[in-house]
A and B are shown apart, each in its own frame.
Chain A
Amino acid sequence: EIVLTQSPATLSLSPGERATLSCRASQSLSSYLAWYQQKPGQAPRLLIYDASTRATGIPDRFSGSGSGTDFTLTISSLEPEDFAVFYCQQRRNWPLTFGGGTKVEIK
């Protein structure tokens, strides 16, 4: 099973600041990594797939980068609605696995 490790666990930032979230895989994923955003009481929402492709309707302040074992989700300038928990997920191998999540909270 591929283990995904996200860091930091919590990121405390102010609106307008840049957020940088990390996801590290226990083995190479090529580019088969997705990012999801989850707000309290809601289902996850797909943000990024194939490491760097934004899903339909996702604002361009969200960007993904990386390949192999190291990936980054960047939010260029945080909007109030962006504060949430973010998960990475790999589809390189079955079973599909998620990272433990990074909570982006208002400072």
Chain B
Amino acid sequence: LQLQESGPGLVKPSETLSLTCAVSGGSISSSAYYWGWVRQSPGKGLEWIGSIYYSGTTYNNPSLKSRVTISIDTSKNQFSLKVRSMTAADTAVYYCARALFSVGMDVWGQGTTVTVSS
């Protein structure tokens, strides 16, 4: 199984970030897994952004308030992240990951760097 993030590397302040994670080598519709996003600001630790189940049920980190939307497209075997009202504090490497409910995040994408700057 492989995960690949895609999206813009540069976003202007106040704009919306849109990232997609394409899943290959397995089905995103499996009931055993859920799919999530994690980010890492430069030189900092890991921050969980949110997760989604194939049914569309989502779990988001309250620290990002209501700026985050995670969606899933089972027909394209991919899931997506939108973060609204981006600021410099949202500059980070964004990772997508697969998780097993009983295990944790066992497969990760390589990460994509997003910089917020005018």
Contact = CB atoms under 8 A, between A and B. Distances in A.
Interface string B75-118: 00000000000000000000101000111111011110000000
Interface of B is mostly: strand
B105 A97 contact: no
B101 to A, nearest CB: 8
Nearest to A45: B108
Contacts of B36: 96
Nearest to B96: A43
Interface residues of B, number: 24
Contact of B104 (A49, A56, A99): A49
Contact of B105 (A44, A56, A94, A100): A44
Interface in B43-86: 45-48, 51, 59-63
Interface of A: 1, 34, 36, 38, 42-46, 49-50, 55-56, 87, 89, 91, 94-101
10 contacts: A1-B62, A44-B105, A45-B108, A49-B104, A56-B106, A94-B59, A95-B48, A95-B63, A96-B48, A98-B45
